[in-house]
Amino acid sequence: FFQKTLTAVKNWFTLFGWSKGQNPISIPYSLRRDVCKVQMTSSQEKVFKQNLGKDTKTVYDMLFHLSGQLLPGVTSSQSLPLDPVERMLQLHRQHSALLAFLRSQGAYLPHVMPEFLLEPDDYKKWIKAQTVVKVDVKNSDVFSNKHLFILEDSIFETMSKRAWTDVLLQVYKVFVLPRVSSCSITDLFSLESVQNMPRIKSEPLSSNIYSPYERTILTWLNKHYEENRRTVWKDCQKGEVPPMRWIVNFDRDLLDGLVLAAQLAAYCPYLIATHFVRMYTTPRTPEQFLHNCLILVNAMHAVSLAIDIKV
């Protein structure tokens, strides 16, 4: 499940996260590497000479494109010190500023520490710097960092990948989903065919799982499914018209492909005769679920949706 989530996040941000077209990313590798446009170099510091030229797109460019805001304290021509420890400390400060900025916008990232966003070598430097015991000579007190997580290499890579994925998911939540208009939510259930369906409340405190914008999308899914299910599958080849359902989540309720097919049919009705009539309307086996999803993917390819969807 996590790998599928990571792939979906990578594909979306590659396609839509940047100005001036696509920018392939890898999570967490390119995000950790491409942190600054300008990298100071010297003959003694060839190890730090990376492909961070003026055309390099950074996570800060992505944030500016999606939010219209610059990260406080980080300029568009940010450079890093040559000293490895100073470079690591500056990156840690930048990542701290990034997380603070996202939290101020409504992101939920209490489990992501700035050091999890560092490169592995910089993480080791951070651990070494933090594990030095400091002694207050005057008071003879010994201090230590109680919130320090010392992770093995393989565990750190897993944690870093998860941290960067969660950061991108929260970026999507606070800067992309709010663009979903709520002005016409009250009109979504105006049709007689859906007036008897339960409503999904859009108030902020009505769910501890989904945001108001996500619940707006669920409302939209319910509306189009109920409005179109009889039209799409009135001549279905593998069953009767699918029954009414209440769509309340983005995983189980979308597994059989019928809900998404109804959404696509609402905008591309010509796909009904060529694709959707061949779907199972009451799928029960994994093979039938796969059959439906393959038809849905083929329909998306038929209309040239610029999304790398794989079953």
Give pLDDT tens digits for 188-207. Answer: 555 445 555 556 665 555 56
Report residue 230 as tokens: 């009889």
**β-bridge mates for residue 238, sequence order:** 280
60 lies in some domain: yes
186 shares its domain with 165: no
> pLDDT tens digit string along 36-53?
654 444 443 444 444 444
Residues 164 and 263 in one domain: no
Please state the pTM of the whole predicted model: 0.59
| Inter-residue contact 6 to 158 (CB < 8 Å) | no
Q: What is the C-alpha separation between 224 and 273, in angstroms, rounded?
A: 18
Asked whether residue 308 is assigned to any structural domain, the reply reads no
Specify the number of domains making up the chain.
2
194 or 4: which carries more pLDDT confidence? 4
304 pLDDT higher than 50: yes
109 with 118: CB under 8 angstroms? Answer: no
* pLDDT band at 140; cut points 50, 70, 90: very low
Pick the range with the lowest mean pLDDT from 57-71, 117-131, 132-146, 215-229. Answer: 132-146
More confident residue, 237 or 46: 237
3-state secondary structure of 138: coil
Helices and strands of the chain, counted as H and E runs:
10, 2
Which neighbouring-strand residues pair with 280?
238
- Residues 97, 195, single domain; the answer is no
Range with the poorest average pLDDT among 58-67, 123-132, 189-198, 202-211: 189-198
**Mean pLDDT, the chain, as a whole number?**
79
Which pLDDT band holds residue 99 (cuts at 50, 70, 90)?
very high
pLDDT reported for residue 202: 58
Pairing verdict, β 134-136 and 141-143: antiparallel
Contact 286, 279 (CB under 8 A): no
With respect to residue 45, please indicate whether it lies within any of the assigned structural domains: no
Look at 101-105, 213-217, 242-246 and tell me which has the smallest mean pLDDT.
213-217
Same domain, residue pair 82 and 163: yes
- Which of 2-11, 40-49, 61-70, 164-173: highest mean pLDDT? 164-173
Query: Are residues 112 and 20 part of one domain?
Result: yes
Alpha helices in 82-150 (DSSP H): 84-104, 120-130
Whether the CB-CB separation of 2 and 163 falls below 8 Å is answered with: no
Question: For residue 305, is pLDDT > 60?
Answer: yes
Q: Report whether 71 contacts 157 (CB < 8 A).
A: no
Rounded-to-integer distance, Cα 43 and Cα 83, Å: 13
Question: Which residues are within 8 A (CB) of 71 and not within 5 positions of it... i.e. 6 or more apart?
Answer: 60, 63, 64, 94, 97, 98, 101
Compute the average pLDDT of residues 77-104.
Answer: 85
Report residue 67: phi and psi, to 5°: -110, -20
Tell me the mean pLDDT in the region 269-286: 92
| Candidate from 107-111, 190-194, 288-292, 307-311 with smallest mean pLDDT | 190-194
Please tell me whether residues 23 and 150 are part of one structural domain.
yes
Domain with 104, as residue range(s), is: 1-38+52-137+145-179
pLDDT of residue 128: 87
- Comparing CA positions, the residue from 56, 43, 118 lying closest to residue 87 is 118
Of 46-50, 63-67, 76-80, 167-171, the range with the lowest mean pLDDT is: 46-50
**Judgement on whether residues 277 and 189 belong to the same structural domain of the protein:** yes
Q: Are residues 158 and 12 in the same domain?
A: yes
> Which has more confidence, 73 or 133?
73
pLDDT at 134: 47
Tell me the pLDDT band of 138, cut-offs 50, 70 and 90. Answer: very low
